[in-house]
A and B are shown apart, each in its own frame.
Chain A
Amino acid sequence: MTLVRTRIKTRANSRSTTRISSREDRIVNGIVYVACALVAVVCVFPLLFVVAASITPYGEVLRNGGYIVIPRAITFDAYRELLADPAIPRALSVTAFITVVGTALNMLLTTLMAYPLSRRDLPGRSAVLLIALFTTVFGAGMIPTYLIVKATGLLDTVWAMIVPGAVSVFNVLIMKTFFEGIPDELVDAARIDGAGELRILVQVILPLSVPVMLTLGLFYGVSHWNEFFQAILYVRDPDLQPLQVVVRNLLARSQATENADAVLPLVTVQMAAVVVAAIPMIAVYPFVQKHFQKGVLLGSVKG
């Protein structure tokens, strides 16, 4: 009896820090803390360094023989120069458009597809699921897809970066799984009260689905903000290029082709472009990361 009690007691304490630690425990803890700190530095330092490089004045770069982590002086000239080039504001507006409109369309279609599929009583449900799932294991490939995008008249329009990826079947499955977790009684009660399907979806299901909506909305939003693949495939018009493509072209430009009387080294401007392309993600991230984690688990464990 006493043995059992001690076991329960230690078990309660075993995962906390208050436990008296042995020599071996202290060594392991030490290694773990050092490793944790190392991981944190490896993840954060590159970003800090890029920010530092983007705000370092030219004089400082010359004096130090390159960029250093904490610049002794700060200038925002690189950002001014970057935004003075009409290509960047234009690309920002293209990216903002595809992010907002694209995400809205994604969420609309995903919800409309996930809700019927979450209803176990829907005749033909498994056939629809099968049709959707098949597209996740077999794709026609880059060229036939390009030809269809061309045939539907999307080439060289912003819609080429929105419509061909309007629904992600994986996200539909995540949302469907979430909907299936909502008790049927709620849906039945609403139906008895005379609510139609659309009303049930909007007034019963959606208010209970905030976590999954946030997660998927952010997944879609991030992928639109980072849009690159569809842009290089389907958009040739330089005025329609999204931010990531414009930044990639800027990064690929070498010092050799640089304008001789530029006030700043090209690299500084390039680093500013990297920061501009990353800022929304970094700014939004702290507020949403806990939802992301939940979303990943939903998708990978139960999905």
Chain B
Amino acid sequence: MVPTVTRARRYWALYLMLLPAMAYLAVYKYAPMYGIIVAFKDYSLGEGIVASPWIHPWYGHFSELFGSPYFGQLLRNTFLLSIYKIVWGTTLPLVLALILNECRLTWMRRWVQTLSYMPHFLSWVIIFGITGAFLSESSGLVNRWLEQLTGHSVGFLTSTDWFRSVLVGTEVWKDMGWGAIIYLAAMVGIDPSRYEVARVDGASRLRQIWHITLPGIRNVIILLLVLRLGHVLEAGFEQVYIFYNLQVYPVADILDTWVFRTGLENLNFSLAAAAGLFKSIIGLVLILAANRIAKRWDGQLW
């Protein structure tokens, strides 16, 4: 039995390789965790993290946050947007995967698949530009049609009635094909003899989908759903930040956009850090719980 130290010495080259990435993690992932203490201080830019005075009571910023009437709205917006995205972002890719799985023309299946996951690689800025080309009130194609048909235009991007639908719709457009890939992979893994048996028993195509394809990928569906629930507090900062405007804050402002504005635009670092910490802790609990549940469907992340 070689002592651990000599054993470890043999691996010095490997440890050396690990060093740069570990240094990165230490500085840009773990050091900010220390920086969380600004949530318990009255941070001032001039004095820095260490010298800024502690706040009394220590939970002062949290009580300010939870006591604010705006907090309820933020939480509501974050949850609603997430839930809508989870519902549509699960069902539509599933439907697309079923369609592709039933498509008997190989060339067509391949083309549609390729085209449908292309939008995933476009940035939110580009998608915002495209959305404007269709939905903008002054020049959008859809609004021109609406005006010809009904005489009215709709402010899709500026009305509180429509804004969430725009966010959910654009997200589904961006990631539908991408989301379908994994369902499709699971469907390909289903034993073909089960379809054969069903066919011999006289099952129609729809019944085959219902009794074989869907149960065959049930675990994957549940697993992905559970994991997405673990991220329910992340409603998509970049998308919302790029799309939103003053008129739609009541329905669009989420925790992350509020933290950005409060901390970096209004320089209220401590309050924003408190909100961020709240989000991180709830997020941690949700993700660990989600992983716990996912384990039951034999597919935990780690």
Contact = CB atoms under 8 A, between A and B. Distances in A.
Interface centre among A25, A233, A274 (most CB of B within 10 A): A274
B284 interface: yes
A17 B105 contact: yes
Interface in B38-73: 38, 48-49
A112 B17 contact: yes
Contacts of A201: 17
A97 interface: no
Contacts of A247: 125-126, 129
Contacts of B273: 141, 143-144
B287 interface: yes
B196 A10 contact: yes
B116 A244 contact: no
A297 B182 contact: yes
Given A7-B196, A11-B192, A119-B14, A43 B116 contact: yes
Interface residues of A, number: 102
Interface string B239-271: 001100000000000001001100110000100
A172 B21 CA distance: 10
Interface string A218-234: 00001001101100110
Contacts of A53: 133
A24 B11 contact: no
Contacts of B150: none
Nearest to A276: B126
Nearest to B197: A7
Contacts of B4: 123
A167 B24 contact: yes
Contacts of B34: 144
From DSSP, what is the main secondary structure of chain A's interface residues? Answer: helix
A24 B205 contact: yes
B277 A141 contact: yes
A162 B34 CA distance: 22
B242 A152 contact: no
Contact of B28 (A66, A148, A286): A148
A297 B181 contact: yes
Interface stretch (B81-89, B137-145, B159-167): B137-145
A14 B129 contact: no
A140 B205 contact: no
A255 B48 CA distance: 43
B14 A145 contact: no
Interface in A53-95: 53, 65-67
A53 B134 CA distance: 11
Contacts of A196: 13
A148 B130 CA distance: 36
B263 A50 contact: no
A116 B105 contact: no
A101 B277 CA distance: 32
Contacts of B38: 143-144, 147
A281 B126 CA distance: 11
Contacts of A292: 117
Contacts of A251: 125, 128-129, 132
* Secondary structure class of chain B's binding surface, majority of residues: helix
A271 to B, nearest CB: 6
A43 B28 contact: no
Interface stretch (A130-138, A178-186, A207-215): A130-138
Nearest to A225: B123
A115 B21 CA distance: 12
Contacts of B7: 123
B204 A24 contact: yes
A24 B87 CA distance: 30
B238 A228 contact: yes
B25 interface: yes
Contact of B123 (A33, A144, A228): A228
A143 B272 contact: yes
A76 B132 CA distance: 21
A145 B11 contact: no
Given A40-B115, A66-B139, A141 B124 contact: no
A257 interface: no
B272 A273 contact: no
Contacts of A245: 125
Given A112-B17, A251-B125, A274 B130 contact: yes
A15 B256 contact: no
Contacts of A137: 283-284, 287-288
Contacts of A10: 196, 199
A50 B133 contact: yes
A292 B124 CA distance: 19
Interface in B93-145: 96, 99-100, 102-105, 108-109, 111-112, 114-119, 121-126, 128-130, 132-134, 136, 138-139, 141, 144
B99 A32 contact: yes
B54 to A, nearest CB: 16
Given A39-B96, A166-B24, 19 more contacts: A11-B193, A11-B196, A14-B196, A32-B102, A33-B108, A109-B24, A112-B21, A116-B14, A116-B17, A123-B7, A123-B8, A139-B280, A139-B283, A143-B38, A144-B273, A198-B13, A248-B128, A281-B121, A297-B181
**Top-10 shortest CB links A-B:** A141-B276, A144-B35, A140-B32, A274-B129, A226-B123, A113-B21, A197-B13, A116-B14, A144-B32, A143-B273
23 contacts: A11-B192, A32-B103, A35-B99, A40-B111, A40-B115, A46-B173, A108-B20, A109-B21, A116-B14, A116-B15, A131-B22, A131-B25, A138-B284, A140-B29, A141-B276, A143-B269, A167-B25, A197-B17, A226-B123, A267-B139, A273-B129, A289-B118, A297-B181
